């Protein structure tokens, strides 16, 4: 009898499908993996990633790890905006404000 090595990884979503620049309704390549008891992974972070997430109704707050397959601009150019969005979402979620010495 063969073993079943499949794992339930929860929600898998392609937020974008590729291209050299984001277009209306067509974002650069990003994928998000979420499972109930595991860290949340964002794979690639092209320009407009946080907008694509917002369109799905998801918050960037629970992202634990951002992974890159390579460092071309269409895979990393949204990183600064995503980090800012993650920080803002964390503040709205009620986490301590470390800048105030909490």
List the strands of the sheet with 30-34, edge to edge: 11-16, 30-34, 40-43, 63-67
Q: Which of 4, 64, 74, 97 is catalytic?
A: 74
The span from the CA of 83 to the CA of 65, in Å, is 11
DSSP per-residue codes, 66-80: EE-SS--HHHHTTHH
Catalytic annotation present for 74: yes
Residues annotated as catalytic are 74
């Amino acid at each position: 009898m063969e073993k079943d090595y499949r794992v339930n990884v929860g929600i898998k979503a392609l937020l974008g499908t590729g291209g050299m620049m984001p277009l209306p309704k067509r974002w650069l390549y990003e994928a998000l993996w979420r499972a109930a008891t595991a860290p949340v992974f964002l794979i690639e972070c092209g320009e407009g990633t946080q907008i694509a997430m917002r369109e799905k109704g998801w918050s960037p707050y629970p992202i634990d790890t951002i992974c890159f397959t390579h460092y071309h601009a269409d895979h990393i150019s949204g990183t600064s905006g995503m980090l800012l969005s993650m920080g803002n979402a964390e503040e709205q979620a009620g986490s301590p404000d470390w800048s105030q010495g909490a």
